[in-house]
Amino acid sequence: MTQLIDGKVLAKKIRNEVKQIVSTMSVKPGLAVVLVGDDPASKIYVSSKEKACVEVGMYSEKILLPENTSEEEVLKVIHRLNNDPKIHGILVQVPLPTHLKEDTIINSISVDKDVDCFHKYNVGQLLLADKHTDPNELIVPCTPKGIIELIESTGESIEGKKAVVVGRSNIVGKPVAILLLEKNATVTVCHSKTVDLKSETRTADILVTAIGKPKFITGDMIKKGSIIIDAGINRGKDGLVGDVDFESCKDKAGYITPVPGGVGPMTIACLIENTLQLAKKKA
């Protein structure tokens, strides 16, 4: 029988643990989220982050800037947040409007407040981490971190498994491949130029998808009994759907995440967890 990996349940457990720790702290962890423009999906996501902060007793600041805000103005906002002692974590919501240089803005965030591991220094730290790395010193990107925790929640070992990641973005695909390698999986990264994608995905004990193509992964593309983590989120006539065709995969997979209710809640829970980590490090 295929088992559903419920991200809502696991995320609630994380939030409750964070809430308990925050209640004992004299200085409350603070998260600032900067949103430039009116992207509907981003606005919903930012509101969810703010709600989660309030729920666990953290300080939350949401900065909404018009679509035409200049790069100089965005950098001024980040500079203020970098120097604000109430703020321990800063997240700039991507994608940004096309007139803004994403690399310049992301790398203006203080390394010590980079809550989603976007800064090139922290990405380098993640890549170079080994068994001697202090986990308290390492900030792990929220979505990849949540994906690993979802896999581990099944009770199945990652070590020695064949993992296939479909997608090579800097936000999900690349960092989750690094984390799977750290867990001693054998990792293959597939993308739009991969020849015969099906032959790769059908060998996967663990399949992670993050490509933004609705219902792209079908039942004939997966290995029987595999763990399927769907990090895609696509809005269509049927509402929100993932990269995985859930109906054709659900009876063949061993474990599978739903969309919505899988990776999404874990991303926000891990953001809260990372904010707490940065606040404790600062203290």
pLDDT bucket at 41, cuts 50 / 70 / 90:
confident
What are the pLDDT digits (tens) for 152-189?
Answer: 999 999 999 999 999 999 999 999 999 999 999 999 99
In the chain, where the domains are located: 26-116, 142-264
What percent of the chain stands above pLDDT 90?
90
Which homologous superfamily is 142-264 in?
NAD(P)-binding Rossmann-like Domain (3.40.50.720)
Q: Does the fold of domain 142-264 match that of domain 26-116?
A: yes
Which pLDDT does position 167 carry in this prediction? 98
pLDDT bucket at 142, cuts 50 / 70 / 90:
very high
Q: Which residues have a catalytic role annotated?
A: 49, 93, 116
**Distance between CA 187 and CA 177 in Å, rounded?**
7
CA 206, chain centre distance (Å): 17
The domain made up of 26-116 is a member of CATH 3.40.50.720: no
pLDDT at 224 over 80: yes
